Structure 1
Amino acid sequence: MTFDPSIRIGVLGGGQLGRMMIQSAMNLNLEIASMDPDPNAPCKSLASHFVNGDITSYDEVLAFGEAFDVITVEIENVNVEALEELERRGKKVFPQPRVLRTIKDKGLQKQFYLDHGIPTSDFVFIDQKEELKNHTDLLPAANKLRTEGYDGRGVQIIKTEADLNKGFEAPSILEKFVDYHKEISVIVARNEKGDMETFPVVELEYHPEQNLVEFLFSPSELEEELRIKARDLAKKVISEFDMVGLLAVEMFATKDGEILVNECAPRTHNSGHHTIEGNITSQFEQHIRAILNLPLGDTSVKGSAVMINLLGHPDYSGQAKYEGIEEAMAHSGMHLHLYGKKLTKPFRKMGHATLVGDDLQALKDKAREFKESIKIIA
């Protein structure tokens, strides 16, 4: 097989995930074009060609995709009908549009798990808020919008009947809380040949109010049996979808030793950022390998890693300024990634930092210090 770096790749979405994908593609002499509704999207300065356009528009997505051999995404909220038409016209679209159609709707996604024997939490479909009162037996629970929720948005925690008024007046699901021991994630890749590789299990720690990942710990300290079970489950999910590309599978490790799938994302993901420095192959390179049907890379860890999401300070909006960066950079094993976003706002993802070393507990302690000292203000 001859590798041809002139293959034309187009990405829908121009955020930080696309930006890091482009940075990885440069090592293979590949050029990636990007389309995003933000004229100052993080990908703009790095993409070989940047289109300021609406990724939910049928006509604009179709026109963009016509210029490329392979089309991929860095966000689920795209026009699937246009991608289906591009696929009919012979373009390679990964993940496949049928997969995106299912995953972008949390209701369809959960039903898919039930239909394919994939363990997940109990849930019911909700069409309007009034129906929540009929399902108090599921409380405490999470009310999740079926579409367009991301980064903690589109999720309301319903602990008791007094919280029912917090529910969404839109199609949603009510999902029973899981009595979990750890929240974990496994990223799995699959190419057109059907080859699969999973990254080692990582543990996630969320912001208590914003439902955003604050810290990621790699590798997981779960028992080996549960780690094997989680990686096998991730392979089952991507196989049942018959998907090509990269799939992040977020799971619960329960207190009684079960692994349940929470939800998944058919793209590079926040739970894989540490792989840039912490693993032999990064999730971004692996995604490119998968969609181009190349051999998948070695996912082994190089050592311990802790990732910190760098979020906009809750009290500031405006031109971003960074406190505590110089002190962080003075620390051995610290790797900073700022996403090129000029404007900050409360809890906006502005970057991430990855600490690597040999002692995971020491890295966790240091990461918590940096979480307090690095502030993104305006």
Structure 2
Amino acid sequence: MNHRTPAATVGVVGGGQLGRMMGEAAGPLGIELLVSDPTPDCPAAPIVREQIVGEFDDYDAIRELAERADVLTFEIELADPDEMARVGEETDTPVHPDPDTLRTIQDKLVQNRALAETGVPLPAFRRVDDADDLRDAGEELGWPLMLKAREGGYDGRGNRPVDAPEEIDEALDEIGGPALAEELVDFERELAIMGAVGDGETDAYPVTETIQREEILRESVAPARIDDAVRDRARKVAFDVLDLLDGRGVYGIELFETDDGDILVNEIAPRPHNSGHWTIEGTRCSQFEQHLRAVLGWPLGDTALRSPAVTANLLGDVESPRPAELVGTDSILETPEASLHWYGKREVRPLRKMGHVTLADDEHGRDALLSRARELVDDVTFE
């Protein structure tokens, strides 16, 4: 296939920070991005060619995207797979990843069943529709366990540890709908792999170590501080997962490394992922450029490591929502190996992801990079 510039137009359902960084990656390739998002002047709006204001299931907005684009994709799991499939068929516009893949991943129970049926390792799980189901799950899986909303959960929302039967009613009220109970894994560390599926190609970035508190990603370390055997097992599991997914694109695969060195799948995201933000500075082709290459059917880019990299998220440190104003960034800007990424969100909320800082350097060890990243993030605050 011969590629020409201006190369293509990509329509993206969702215009949050992932859409913004996708737009930043699109420009050098001559790709134009159109996004649809319910928030006027969404984070991606200043970067992409145009925003169409519409809900994630707005047929008219998605159809307009498809009519003006060469391919349709999404950057958020709240995108409606039924409307995207319908619009894709009506306009003859390819949709990647496949809406069936999104439909599977949107429901954690459906996702886990699909993985289990093909032998992909994951924590033991049970369906939970009511208090009796959760009580039975606790007896089978043991207390404590993890209760997850089947749909809509992200950044720690929709996940709730349940320590004992006495917490059942409170936990179900907090989740507020159909749920999934999983055994609480005693893990050594959490890992992630960004995989890429192109036109007849499959590749993956180096295994990343993810550090989370309160179910929210705080830092990522790449490559992960693991031995070769664990790395090889993680990559094998990731490629097995990619074999199950339909449609081109980048996929975030979150994993547990158990105390015994085994690898279990935690969750899958059919899009670029926070745990892969380090690839902007740490690899030759970022996950965002890779996603665009993949959905367009272009050759995949190089996933090789340029240098070790650590990313630390900038999270809202406020007690209640307020206009977003970040102060104290001088130390970040004065650090040669540090890169500041600001997502352009107008409002800061408690623990909301507002940006990130990446340190990429092959002269210092990963422990030193992580320590320095934490120091830099501690210097900033929201007023």
TM-score by length of 1: 0.95
Alpha-carbon contact 2:59-2:87 (below 8 Å) kept: no
Partner Cα distance (1:51, 1:145) in 2? 30
CA positional deviation for 1:179: 1.4
CA positional deviation for 1:339: 0.6
CA positional deviation for 1:88: 2.3
CA positional deviation for 1:6: 4.2
**Which residue in the other structure is 1:38 paired with?**
39
Cα distance per residue 1:33-56 (max 9 Å; x no partner) = 000000021011122121011112
Cα distance per residue 1:123-152 (max 9 Å; x no partner) = 001113453122222222111111111111
Alpha-carbon contact 1:99-1:243 (below 8 Å) kept: yes
CA RMSD of aligned residues (A): 1.4
Give the letter aligned to residue 256 of structure 2.
F
**Which residue in the other structure is 1:186 paired with?**
193
Q: Does 1:21 align with 2:26?
A: no
Partner Cα distance (1:79, 1:242) in 2? 16
Cα distance per residue 1:180-220 (max 9 Å; x no partner) = 1110000110112x20110000101112x3x1100101111
Residue 98 of structure 1: which of 90, 97, 100 is its match? Answer: 100
**Which residue in the other structure is 2:315 paired with?**
311
Alpha-carbon contact 1:72-1:95 (below 8 Å) kept: yes
**Which residue in the other structure is 2:210 paired with?**
204
Cα distance per residue 1:307-336 (max 9 Å; x no partner) = 001011132521212222012211221100
**Runs of 4+ more than 4 Å apart:** none
Alpha-carbon contact 1:325-1:374 (below 8 Å) kept: yes
Give the letter aligned to residue 94 of structure 1.
H
3-state DSSP class of the match of 1:84? helix
Identical-pair percentage: 37
Q: Does 1:65 align with 2:66?
A: yes
Give the letter aligned to residue 27 of structure 2.
M
TM-score by length of 2: 0.94
3-state DSSP class of the match of 2:357? strand
Residue 257 of structure 2: which of 253, 259, 276 is its match? Answer: 253
Alpha-carbon contact 2:313-2:353 (below 8 Å) kept: yes
**Which residue in the other structure is 2:80 paired with?**
79
Partner Cα distance (1:126, 1:170) in 2? 9
Uncovered stretches (5+) of structure 1, i.e. residues with no partner: none
3-state DSSP class of the match of 1:268? coil
Give the letter aligned to residue 96 of structure 1.
D
Partner Cα distance (2:338, 2:257) in 1? 29
Partner Cα distance (2:64, 2:34) in 1? 13
**1:204-223 equivalence runs, <5 A:** 204-207=210-213, 209=214, 211-223=215-227
